[in-house]
Structure 1
């Protein structure tokens, strides 16, 4: 992906952070349209005649709903119900599914699934030959229709375009994720550049935070139950499907109300970004949880997602000496069945 990103004028601060010389990028994203390379995400393909049955036994998603229109969230768990990778799943073609996740988890999930793949005659492919572009802002759907030629899908739905896919994501503004072969990414970017402003990749991740959506990285695997990421509130768990790895623990936690930690959104009074895993402490210096993701907002303050105890805390709360203010999530903490979400559009 390095070559096509260099052609856009973007610069890599590190493996996943792409920056552009665009002033007030976070504010522009609220108006838009804007775009950015999504270097922090990766994709794994599952192909073969038994791909649907294979994934049905491995993921929390109800695979019969993944029909080429609905592209739901899901997760892969250990037998103890801890998340190995949280993903978005869509169908490219019959017997061909694609999993979107943090790029650091692609290889580890591939190795995990490879232990079972031969029994279903499926192949697992790390799609490093594909590029991801985030298109977002108020006018993003109109831009997609005008320049790409398709009607933009709503959140957790998909639409095909040429050799790629367009996926709808939630956020404070309309967000579309475009997947194309890497050798076509430069030309697509050039077409979009006439109407769309390039912004730092952190701006997309900030909107993930504001949407209450956390993508785990390699340091966070095998740590959280899906409900600790509010995955059932996002439609990422089907409680109506049959067994999958970790299902018994996940279902027990739901029906017995045993989830004592939840993903929460907050703002820090300061411009210092905490690293994932940084502890959240109360007034008694007791650790209540840890930061999952963090980015600076349009005003230079850090916004975070953190997994925290649901008990009433002894305030004030802080992270690395910065005072923490809890913010409202954009969705209720209640079960949202993917079966309901699939028919929402």
Structure 2
């Protein structure tokens, strides 16, 4: 049985209900602090790369500046095909010649295959077994206090990372942390954390990612978008000064020549509305699709939150629909950052 399946089986033994490998409910006790929430991030995987040329290899393949990744500093990034389309995106941490790329579980095999075809020319390799990680999320006002108590080491600012013997801890925002825990210690840490924190469904974490405007490329939308149109530049995931990498010429041209007509926005709809990743979106005045659903997750308030990549015109005119008949209109919502690309609006 794989590490991933063992982790799912452990969660089931703890009383978790799972649907499509996501935790949907958990037997919380009444004495837990409900303000600080714990998540089993079973939709995420960690790819480990090691070797004396690991940094050089990644620097020539991904959009972010790998030299800026240190033991104390994580980075968002992406790997593109030669046409500048994102194959997968990730959150990366590393130290010395070891790098960890956290991506969506659905795309792990695609990511490894894509990187692997270039890796054969480099002194770098994937690390299996000994470096398998389980992903856990923590969010709430006492998150940092709890992490310091349990792990004795906590990052203090956004995208700061801390390495311990069996964990990597990354601070995403003021009260949100990701923990990558070596699989042989995951059960023990989960037991400790779940005794203190209120365990929430995995989808609630995905809702928070949507609200923060952090798009996740899954198998359904791999090689669909350039980094800019899913707002990876807003997350610092693209360096325009680091030099060449696969797809760099196209990505740079999109940035500087002003040909970008789409961005990713946040939207809300009714819980009953049919929406899935990769679905086409529509607007008034044309029968042609003007975008796609990037991410979608259900909230506890009986709504669905979405990240949608659509034309700026459709967003500006507040006319985005889930169906070509234009019956189900999306309610557009705000993001925590501004869409400030200087070329926005040049149609």
| TM-score, normalised via structure 1 length | 0.88
What is the rounded CA distance, in whole Å, between the counterparts of 2:256 and 2:72 in structure 1?
30
Match of 2:4 in 1: none
Q: Could you say what secondary structure the match of 1:45 adopts?
A: strand
Q: How many residue pairs get matched?
A: 326
Matched, 1:130 2:136: no
Match of 1:341 in 2: none
1:98-247 equivalences under 5 Å are 98-125=100-127, 129-170=132-173, 174-247=175-248
Residues 179 and 163 of structure 1: is their aligned pair in 2 closer, same or farther, counting only changes over 3 Å?
same
Q: In 1, are the aligned partners of 2:262 and 2:309 still within 8 Å (CA)?
A: yes
How much does 1:240 deviate?
A: 1.0
Match of 2:67 in 1: 64
Match of 2:308 in 1: 306
Residues 269 and 112 of structure 1: is their aligned pair in 2 closer, same or farther, counting only changes over 3 Å?
closer
Residues 8 and 36 of structure 1: is their aligned pair in 2 closer, same or farther, counting only changes over 3 Å?
farther
Q: In 2, are the aligned partners of 1:131 and 1:182 still within 8 Å (CA)?
A: yes
1:309-324 equivalences under 5 Å are 309-312=311-314, 315-320=318-323, 321-324=327-330
Match of 2:339 in 1: 333
How much does 1:166 deviate?
A: 0.5
What is the rounded CA distance, in whole Å, between the counterparts of 2:26 and 2:167 in structure 1?
28
Q: Which deviates more, 72-81 or 305-314?
A: 305-314
Match of 1:291 in 2: 293
Match of 2:344 in 1: none
Match of 1:18 in 2: 23
What is the rounded CA distance, in whole Å, between the counterparts of 1:144 and 1:310 in structure 2?
41
Q: In 1, are the aligned partners of 2:37 and 2:138 still within 8 Å (CA)?
A: yes
Match of 1:255 in 2: 256
- Find the partner of 1:82 among 68, 80, 85: 85
| TM-score, normalised via structure 2 length | 0.88
Q: Could you say what secondary structure the match of 1:68 adopts?
A: coil
Q: Which deviates more, 105-114 or 276-285?
A: 276-285
Q: In 1, are the aligned partners of 2:16 and 2:27 still within 8 Å (CA)?
A: no
What is the rounded CA distance, in whole Å, between the counterparts of 1:109 and 1:88 in structure 2?
13
Q: RMSD in angstroms over aligned alpha carbons? A: 2.2
What is the rounded CA distance, in whole Å, between the counterparts of 2:42 and 2:140 in structure 1?
19
How much does 1:75 deviate?
A: 0.7
Q: Which consecutive residues of structure 2, in runs of 5 or more, have no partner in the other structure?
A: 1-6, 342-347
What is the rounded CA distance, in whole Å, between the counterparts of 2:35 and 2:322 in structure 1?
32
What is the rounded CA distance, in whole Å, between the counterparts of 1:54 and 1:258 in structure 2?
30
Q: Could you say what secondary structure the match of 2:264 adopts?
A: strand
What is the rounded CA distance, in whole Å, between the counterparts of 1:196 and 1:236 in structure 2?
31
How much does 1:279 deviate?
A: 2.4
What is the rounded CA distance, in whole Å, between the counterparts of 2:188 and 2:25 in structure 1?
18
Q: Which consecutive residues of structure 1, in runs of 5 or more, have no partner in the other structure?
A: 336-345
How much does 1:260 deviate?
A: 1.1
How much does 1:60 deviate?
A: 0.8
Q: In 2, are the aligned partners of 1:81 and 1:249 still within 8 Å (CA)?
A: yes
